[in-house]
Amino acid sequence: MRYWIILSISLLSFSYTQAQVNFNVASAEVQEGESFCLDLTVEGFTEILSTQLRVIWDSTLLQFDTTINLGVESNGLVFASKVDELRFTWFANDFFAGETLDSGAVLFSVCFTSLKIGEVIVEIDENMVGNPLAPEISNLADGVLSDLTFEKGTVHIRTETEEETNTEEGTGTTEEETTDTEEENNTSTEEENNTTMEEENNTSTEEENNTTTEEENSTSTEEENNTAMEEENATDTPSGGSVESIDCQAVEISIERTICQGDNYEGYLESGDYKDTYTTAGGCDSIVNLTLVVMGRVMSEVNTSICPGGEAEGYTSKGSYIDVFTSSIGCDSIRILNLFILAEDDTDCSTTTSVIDLEEDPTFLVHPNPVQHEVQIQLNQGSFTAGTISLFNIHGQLQLSLPYTQKNLSIPTHQLPQGMYILSIEMAEATYVKQLLKL
């Protein structure tokens, strides 16, 4: 009977204040045909356990190339791209500490090639509420977070008009210099030839020779200057840019996801093992092995007795009551409470044991939560006394029980199925309870 009360009180009082995480996509100004990368930076990225998001853009203006600069260590990672989107799924390498990045740090960078002139928005798709591709971030303390903000990036693809104009102006200056050179050479040659004619008494033969020499020098000078101008123009003319090919490497990962009945993950609705292959723009395969657990709607019936003047879940009168609860992963559970009133002389009414929720009381520190392999229990304040530690599932069934004999204790949980559990620490003066999520 006492275990049913523990379960009900813990479910009713499980609440917390969530942290905020901000995502920012960088902006850029590029030329048509240019390859470039945009940084996706974060703020408030503290003790994060997992991240799922989708980056989208206009594929008529941008071509996806690759991703670089991954800023986090990974226990499971998926980069799956299409022509107009990039799916990013990541799990922390250390599930007991999560991953923390400095404010403004790069989570990863997305690389593109601009296709044509225009302006394009690169953003995280935040409007797909309830869709498994919608942003979903979880941290060590709060589970799945809902306080998320997103900053869009803008890419302005400009023309090469300014550069072409500068090239034409440079060519015009070269032509003027060539003309000046021709005139100077012609003048110099003419003066020299005239002087020679005067010194040799202006004979007709010398005039003919001077004329011939002048024409040859003028022609030679003009050809040399024209050749130099053509070489200079050919050097100044901008050559077409080339896109450097980027090597890629196929990856295969395994991930586990838990969803509520009626939801879907990547289109899957039922529990099972699934294998999907995604192909990147570079032609490499990313293979994802998915283990999916679908949490059904939990319906439980609880029989509870109280002493006269007492209460259970806020109810003080005999009767049956129906309550709906939502777990930290968003799944509903329905509880039917059958409440009975004991007689005043009943032995269970002779003594009273306090039930204290550890969400509001600092006597014990229980972490991590959610838990995967083992949970740590530490006496945070007060004097140590021996007691009993018990773990119940959502139906109130006892899963394990062991003596509490030291201030700090580890309880293995890897053998337990995924789901919600109630941790009970029974001491002489009171019973302490806390709700746990097993991943």
Q: What are 270-298's pLDDT values in tens digits?
A: 889 998 887 655 567 778 889 988 877 66
Quick one: what percent of the chain has pLDDT higher than 90?
17
pLDDT at position 239: 43
Is the pLDDT at 230 greater than 90, yes or no? Answer: no
Whether residue 179 is predicted with pLDDT greater than 60 in this model: the reply is no
Residue 41 pLDDT level (bands cut at 50, 70, 90):
very high
Q: Does the pLDDT of residue 26 top 80, yes or no?
A: yes
Lowest mean pLDDT among 35-44, 108-117, 408-417: 408-417
Inform me whether the pLDDT recorded for 321 exceeds 50: yes
pLDDT at 351 over 90: no
* Distance (Å, whole) CA 161 – CA 377: 68
- For residue 192, pLDDT beyond 80: no
Average per-residue pLDDT for the chain: 75
- Rounded to whole angstroms, how far apart are CA atoms 39 and 24? 8
What is the pLDDT averaged over residues 91-120? Answer: 88
Q: What is the predicted pLDDT for the residue at 129?
A: 44
Plot region of 386 (φ>0 → left; ψ -120 to 50 → alpha; else → beta): beta
Q: Considering the chain, what percentage of its residues have pLDDT values greater than 70?
A: 68
What residues form DSSP beta bridges with 66?
A: 111
Cα angle value 170/173/175 (rounded, 5°): 115
Q: Which is more confidently placed, 349 or 2?
A: 349
Work out the average pLDDT over 188-204. 51
Does domain 354-439 match CATH 2.60.40.3080? Answer: yes
- Quick check: 304 pLDDT over 90? no
Q: How far is CA 384 from CA 131, 224, 428, in A?
A: 48, 101, 11
Least confident of 46-60, 104-118, 246-260: 246-260
Provide the H-helix boundaries in 128-286: 161-199, 204-236
Query: Could you say which DSSP state residue 279 is in?
Result: E
Task: Please indicate, yes or no, whether the overall pTM of this predicted structure exceeds 0.85.
Answer: no
> Do residues 134 and 7 lie in contact, with contact meaning Cβ atoms separated by under 8 Å?
no
Residue 23 has pLDDT above 90, yes or no: yes
Mean pLDDT for the stretch of residues 303-316: 86
Per-residue pLDDT averaged across 77-106, rounded?
81
For 68-88, write each residue's pLDDT tens digit. 988 888 655 666 677 888 888
User: For 375-432, what is each residue's pLDDT tens digit?
Assistant: 998 888 777 788 899 988 877 788 888 888 888 888 888 888 888 888 998 887 788 8
